[in-house]
Structure 1
């Protein structure tokens, strides 16, 4: 199952959808889901102003620097991606692995265009039979 989001295209939009997916009913409390998504959204919101400033500066200077002025934006997006991955790993260890779920950030091609976007994938972990002999 994938929860689509709107963060992509140089990270200009900064929000995952907080609507509770019906597939998770009975697996996780809606409040826990919303809290987790809100933490990810807060991380994106914190990094957006810096990224936008560097993107505008990079676009203005792009011709003079032969594109090198866009490197700070690439680095900031990579740092933001790592922060979200660490946050999702923390959420997994804190709660979701105990519930048989695994959250991860994944890159996918947009359905409407050739651009790439990041989505949060929620995977169901297989249950291991504990009474099976070794």
Structure 2
């Protein structure tokens, strides 16, 4: 028989994950303000720094974002001259996104952010690796 007890916030895994996500994103803010980008824009740029020339759909798959959410992000980054969007000649429905020289220069400026975040979180390398492994495990379960 199912447990009919009212769920308690303190017993839920979703709430601390929600708070952590919100707070960690906020911790990035001062570092990203120096680059004049938002956290969402930073995620897009990281994807392109790893694999330049992806399509909008490919970026969306990596970030779990639909094109309706992603397109405004890309437009703002294009307005800042960090990337260009071009329709493919073979299929004009497909938009390819490529970094500009300014976008590649931004990557050099962003290289210090992971270290600054690790310092701010004040966790050991082992703790960070363990947390990342646990989160990756949850992501694999969710993706199935």
TM-score of the pair, normalised by structure 2: 0.29
Bigger RCO of structures 1 and 2 (CA < 8 A, at least 6 apart): 1
More strand as a share of residues: 1
